[in-house]
């Protein structure tokens, strides 16, 4: 019983702190306080990653260690991606770290769950949506196009696999719902980031990206937390 109380307060306490920090981060972005926003952003990423690492240690499975390693790659990725319009080398480093993150998540998923036709259908739909946004919005992607294309395929693969689990697993548990939401939120957040970075540089798109992305990151972390 004591463990259940501890688990309850730990989870909801983390959500509360995370929500406060996320609100602060978006406000700092709006105020264009770059250094402060970057610090809070890295803290947010570290909290989600820390939750995943802690849960993986308790689960004592190398499959979940791989997943947690992927979550850890999000910390440097979030730092470097903060320089998306400032420093191309750091932006590319961020894309590379995120690619490593999604490779780890995919390896973990495929070691646990078999390939299904559902994920290929979702993948095709998501690629179609992404291409439609790029064409209609006339995205102007620069010299990072090749690297960004590879990353996009990885994130769509991860999202498709994660979401497909809710359709292919009978009576999915809460941790499956968490990972499916995490995958969906990652895809949606990248759409808003693409609109902001390559089409319409309005703060509302940046704010939606930040909000949905970090919600997705916490959902992915809680995928392991809810297994414990």
Tell if the pTM clears 0.85, that is, is over it.
yes
Q: Is the pLDDT of residue 1 over 80?
A: no
pLDDT tens for each residue of 166-219: 999 988 899 999 999 999 999 999 999 999 999 888 999 999 999 999 999 999
**Inter-CA distances, 158 with 137, 161, 164, 193, Å:** 24, 5, 10, 18
Decide: 223 and 182 in contact? Cβ < 8 Å: yes
Q: Is the pLDDT of residue 3 over 80?
A: no
Domain assignment of residue 123, given as a range: 2-225
pLDDT tens for each residue of 16-75: 999 999 999 999 999 999 999 999 999 999 999 999 999 999 999 999 999 999 999 999
Banded pLDDT at 143 (limits 50, 70, 90)? confident
Domain count, the chain: 1
pLDDT tens for each residue of 71-121: 999 999 999 999 998 999 999 999 999 999 999 999 999 999 999 999 999
Residue 8 confidence (pLDDT): 75
Residue 94 confidence (pLDDT): 95
Q: Give residues with Cβ within 8 angstroms of 135, minimum separation 6.
A: none
């Amino acid at each position: 019983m004591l463990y259940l109380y501890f688990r309850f307060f730990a989870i909801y306490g983390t959500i509360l702190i995370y929500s406060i920090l996320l609100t602060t981060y978006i406000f700092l972005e709006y105020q264009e306080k770059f250094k402060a926003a970057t610090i809070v952003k890295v803290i947010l990423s570290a909290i989600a990653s820390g939750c995943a690492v802690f849960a993986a240690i308790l689960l004592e499975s190398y499959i979940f260690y791989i997943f947690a390693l992927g979550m850890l790659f999000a910390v440097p990725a979030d730092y470097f991606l903060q320089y998306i319009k400032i420093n191309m080398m750091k932006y590319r480093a961020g894309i590379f770290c995120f690619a490593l993150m999604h490779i780890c998540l995919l390896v973990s998923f495929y070691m646990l769950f078999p390939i299904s036709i559902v994920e290929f259908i979702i993948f095709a739909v998501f690629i179609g949506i992404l291409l439609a946004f790029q064409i209609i919005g006339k995205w102007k992607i620069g010299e990072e196009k090749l690297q960004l294309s590879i990353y996009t395929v990885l994130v769509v693969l991860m999202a498709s696999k994660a979401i497909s689990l809710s359709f292919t697993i009978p009576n999915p548990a809460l941790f499956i719902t968490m990972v499916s939401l995490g995958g969906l939120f990652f895809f949606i957040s990248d759409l808003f980031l693409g609109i902001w970075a390559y089409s319409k540089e309005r703060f509302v798109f940046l704010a939606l990206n930040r909000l949905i992305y970090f919600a997705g990151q916490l959902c992915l972390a809680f995928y392991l937390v809810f297994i414990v």
